Amino acid sequence: MKEEFGQDLSLPPFNGKIQVAYNHPPFLQAISDCSRLLNEPEAEILLDGRNRVGVVALPNQEGKEIDIVIKEFRSTGVNKLKSIFLPGKAFKAWRGAVALMKKGIETPPPVAYLEKRKGIFLEQSFFLAERVDGVEEIRFLLLRFSPSELRRLLISLGSYLSLCHEKGVLHRDLSDGNILVRKDKTGEFKFFLVDTNRIKLKKKVGLLRGLKNLIRLGVPGEFQRNFLEQYLGTSRVRIFFWFWYKMNKVTYTHYVKLKKKLRLRQIAQKLKIQ
């Protein structure tokens, strides 16, 4: 790994790594307490659930402010137990982002990761990345685009994901919220992968595994064949590949519906008890 993406970082009680360009006193002082940064009124909170994600303006080497996305991974329950034996999610997010950049696949540039342990347990961790301007989650485009625009988007997406798999990149949560899209001045689409702690590198992503990896994407039914044709690089999807994709997609859809029903039942039960 190149040095500029991997300097050791020590900000007691936190340890981690930081990109060279951000390893300067004002920035280090600012990120020494990421919880405080996310709690400040100026922070733009994007997500506050199982994990917390927010955007804050921090000083770069020239003293100018730059928007930094901070993702706080909450370490509780099973995840806390896992931290005894497995790398933490902040480290995996850093590792995944750096791996993508090395392979020439766009992702918000990683800035740093921080971990605090109490004994053998991971107590708190953060992953920091630069905010990318002018992007939007692909889920919104899939709902908003006209049929002609949607066809162009999916043609680009199919080629892009095929390239990712050719390079051995497997995103284990390839959902509509984890692909960001930006349209450049020429009208071409540019994609960015996020949630990089779910990145897994392989020598090669097999065809069946690659097709199965696409099922979380909300591609409208009438465009699915065209999308797969572009991904496979063929003018026609073979029956077996089409069956494999549809079977896995239907199974996943039923699984998601079941999870929602169980969650609603749990919520209703809690309200009833209260």
Distance of CA 121 to the CA centre of its chain: 24
pTM: 0.90
Specify the length of the chain in residues. Answer: 274
- pLDDT tens digits along 209-268: 999 999 999 999 999 999 999 999 999 999 999 999 999 999 999 998 898 888 766 766
pLDDT in tens, 9-51: 999 999 999 999 999 999 999 999 999 999 999 999 999 988 9
- The per-residue pLDDT for 1 is 40
Strand, helix or coil at 226? Answer: helix
Residue 86 has pLDDT above 90, yes or no: no
Provide φ and ψ at 224, rounded to 5°: -65, -40
Beta bridge partners of 183: 189
Which tokens go with 252? 């996943």
Residue with the larger pLDDT of the pair 187 and 182: 182
H or E stretch covering 185:
none
Where do the domains of the chain lie, and which CATH numbers do they carry? 3-130 (3.30.200), 136-247 (1.10.510)
Question: Worst-scoring range by mean pLDDT, 93-107, 143-157, 250-264?
Answer: 250-264
Residue 110 parent element (H or E): strand 110-118
Is 112:19 a contact under the CB 8 Å cutoff? yes
Q: Would the pLDDT of 56 be above 90?
A: yes
- Provide the token pair at 147: 């049929």
Give the distance from CA 34 to its chain's centroid: 20
- C-alpha–C-alpha distance, residues 237 and 230, integer Å: 9
